[in-house]
Amino acid sequence: MAGFTVAIVGRPNVGKSTFFNRLLEQRKAIVDDVSGVTRDRQYGVAEWAGKSFNVIDTGGFVPQSEDVFEREIKKQVLIALEEANAVIFMTDTVTGITDLDDAMADLLRRSPKPVFLAVNKVDNHERYLEASEFYGLGLENTFFISAMSGSGSGELLDAVSALITDDHLQAMEDEKPLPKFAIIGQPNVGKSSLLNALVGEERTIVSDIAGTTRDTIHTHYNLFEKEFVLIDTAGIRRKNKVSEDLEFYSVIRAIKAMDEADVCLLLIDAKQGITAQDLNIFGLAAKKGKGIVFLVNKWDLMEKETNTARDYEKQLKLKIAPFTDVPIIFISVKDKTRIFKAIEMGLEVFENKQRKIPTSQLNEAMQNAMKAYHAPVVRGHAVSIKYVTQLPTNVPSFAFFTNYPDDIKTPYKNYLENKLREDFNFKGVPIRIFFRKK
Ligand code: GDP
Ligand code: GDP
């Protein structure tokens, strides 16, 4: 994360999320990755005194058993020290200093990064008097706050934001948004397994979020030195539905996840092949202008000969035509085969989706294409295309300026699209072509 980052650490129930949410409210626009629950931390952007900074709430879902607390707490501190420029260590005046507070304070006293102790739930004067015991933790910067009412948080934020430099602010402004991937597919194709393989042992937090109203979970990843956000719906089940129509809800969730994503990782089961439902989802993703990567999972179950993958790919492309410029990767989540490749491809498609072709390059390539194959003559008049320009849209879109925009039919349009794809890399990305009167 570029810019200045503050991590909030502390044991469960001290008020980290309350404070986190309060911080984000100061700013009207919240970055996307915060709209979902992250597994072990939440990210957001806050603003104080005109300065923006990132905030990490390391709270997440802490397993509710005593023996894992120590480990969780250590992990939180490690995350904080690794990713943040400063740490807000939160405690709770109602419970007073606990063993876990002591353990965290021990770790944080050795921190090379600035630590601010925020003694929370200091809602009134009486509590303020009690709270002075926290000076005993021996941390230099101590603040007494009420995350609920906001009192005292101003002084804390003044102290934190004093550390934010112009360089931090510039870096923040220059930062590109993280790619967002959605893992989509029919039940049992291996979505949860893929997620778990990506999360790995360390970050797998088994959480049964009963009765949750959230439909998607956004998880921020920093894997294989790549950063991205994964949107998934896999772990969420609606408990209150007596007879859940699995198929139906899987489609509803897929669409939600798709809407929030830049690139869809569309999983299919190698043995089963692509189903009608998969084709619907694929068509919808293309229509919505989302990047797409096909992941043919359970490849380990296939009997393979020399050309199995090539033939499979050919068959698949016949089914998804006409939009066939889509990467197809054969993976086995079980054997962890080509999972890295799948992520790399997702990132490549994301890049392709941002691609902006300079007008001069575009015209040079397209003039050649149009010379090689003229637009057909319609009702006795020649159709000529004067120039092409890429529009400043999210989905790569191209406007061709012509004397007779209505007289250019689908085959020629397809020809131009194919030429665009040959000359510039738009693999996995739906592109749009418009004809305009000139
Ligand atoms: P977390 O587990 O550290 O993220 O803690 P939460 O933010 O979920 O807060 C735990 C509980 O403490 C919730 O019931 C909050 O409403 C409550 N709480 C948070 N801040 C304050 C505060 O300033 N005063 C009081 N009285 N309660 C608070
Ligand atoms: P989801 O419903 O899409 O989340 O699918 P799951 O991740 O629950 O997987 C469904 C079943 O397929 C489980 O029994 C997995 O162990 C199995 N599975 C997942 N990936 C693979 C794979 O690459 N190879 C094989 N042989 N089985 C897999």
Query: Which class for 88: exposed (0-12), middle (13-18), buried (19 or more C-beta within 10 A)?
Result: buried
Considering the domain architecture, whether residues 55 and 166 belong to the same structural domain is answered as yes
Domain of residue 92, residue span? 5-174
Check residue 233 and give its pLDDT.
66
Q: Which atom of ligand 2 is nearest to the CA of 193?
A: 7
The pTM is what?
Answer: 0.66
Of 316, 335, 354, the domain-final residue: 354
Complex prediction ipTM: 0.61
Determine whether the shortest distance from the Cβ of 332 to ligand 2 is under 6 A.
Answer: yes
Check residue 437 and give its pLDDT.
92
Share of the chain above pLDDT 70, in %: 84
The verdict on whether residue 299 carries a ligand-binding annotation is: yes
Please determine, for residue 3, whether its predicted confidence score (pLDDT) is greater than 50: yes
Reading phi first (left if > 0) and then psi (alpha if -120 to 50, else beta), residue 185 is in left
- Distance, CA of 264 to CA of 289 (rounded, Å): 10
In this structure, what CATH number is given to the domain that contains residue 81?
Answer: 3.40.50.300
Considering the domain architecture, whether residues 285 and 240 belong to the same structural domain is answered as yes
Of 354, 371, 399, the domain-final residue: 354
The verdict on whether residue 191 carries a ligand-binding annotation is: yes
The verdict on whether residue 53 carries a ligand-binding annotation is: no
Considering the domain architecture, whether residues 272 and 378 belong to the same structural domain is answered as no
The continuous run of DSSP H or E covering 421 comes out as helix 410-423
Structural domains in the chain (count)? 3
Considering the domain architecture, whether residues 88 and 135 belong to the same structural domain is answered as yes
328-332-333-336 Cα dihedral, nearest 10 degrees? -110
Of the pLDDT bands very low, low, confident and very high (cuts 50, 70, 90), residue 209 is very low
**The token pair that represents 86 in the structure block:** 């400063």
Please determine, for residue 36, whether its predicted confidence score (pLDDT) is greater than 80: no
Determine whether the shortest distance from the Cβ of 334 to ligand 2 is under 6 A.
Answer: yes
**The token pair that represents 281 in the structure block:** 């989802």
Q: pLDDT tens digits for 228-259? A: 888 876 544 444 444 456 666 667 778 888 98
Considering the domain architecture, whether residues 311 and 331 belong to the same structural domain is answered as yes
Compare 21 and 88 and report the one with higher pLDDT.
88
Considering the domain architecture, whether residues 14 and 103 belong to the same structural domain is answered as yes
Check residue 39 and give its pLDDT.
43
- Distance, CA of 111 to CA of 99 (rounded, Å): 19
Compare 404 and 30 and report the one with higher pLDDT.
404
Considering the domain architecture, whether residues 82 and 130 belong to the same structural domain is answered as yes
In this structure, what CATH number is given to the domain that contains residue 372?
Answer: 3.30.300.20
Of the pLDDT bands very low, low, confident and very high (cuts 50, 70, 90), residue 64 is low
Please determine, for residue 67, whether its predicted confidence score (pLDDT) is greater than 70: no
- DSSP for 44-96 reads EEEEETTEEEEEEE--S---S-HHHHHHHHHHHHHHHHHH-SEEEEEEETTT-
Interval between CA 14 and ligand 1 midpoint (Å)? 6
Of 174, 199, 216, the domain-final residue: 174
Considering the domain architecture, whether residues 410 and 274 belong to the same structural domain is answered as no
- Distance, CA of 60 to CA of 41 (rounded, Å): 5
Of the pLDDT bands very low, low, confident and very high (cuts 50, 70, 90), residue 200 is low
Check residue 69 and give its pLDDT.
66
**Atom 19 of ligand 2: nearest residue by CA position:** 190
The verdict on whether residue 121 carries a ligand-binding annotation is: yes
Considering the domain architecture, whether residues 364 and 345 belong to the same structural domain is answered as no
Considering the domain architecture, whether residues 294 and 184 belong to the same structural domain is answered as yes
Of the pLDDT bands very low, low, confident and very high (cuts 50, 70, 90), residue 85 is very high
Please determine, for residue 383, whether its predicted confidence score (pLDDT) is greater than 80: yes
Q: What is the mean pLDDT of residues 387-403?
A: 94
Residues 6+ apart with CB under 8 A from 74: 107
Biggest CA–CA distance in the chain, Å, is 92
Q: What is the mean pLDDT of residues 370-398?
A: 90
Check residue 211 and give its pLDDT.
29
Q: Which atom of ligand 1 is nearest to the CA of 147?
A: 23
Q: What is the mean pLDDT of residues 112-120?
A: 96
Determine whether the shortest distance from the Cβ of 83 to ligand 1 is under 6 A.
Answer: no
Q: What is the mean pLDDT of residues 120-139?
A: 93
Of the pLDDT bands very low, low, confident and very high (cuts 50, 70, 90), residue 201 is very low
Interval between CA 424 and ligand 2 midpoint (Å)? 36
Please determine, for residue 301, whether its predicted confidence score (pLDDT) is greater than 80: yes
Considering the domain architecture, whether residues 296 and 318 belong to the same structural domain is answered as yes
Distances (CA, A) of 73 to 57, 83, 89, 309: 13, 15, 11, 46
Query: Which class for 37: exposed (0-12), middle (13-18), buried (19 or more C-beta within 10 A)?
Result: middle
Q: pLDDT tens digits for 339-352? A: 989 999 999 999 99
Considering the domain architecture, whether residues 196 and 326 belong to the same structural domain is answered as yes
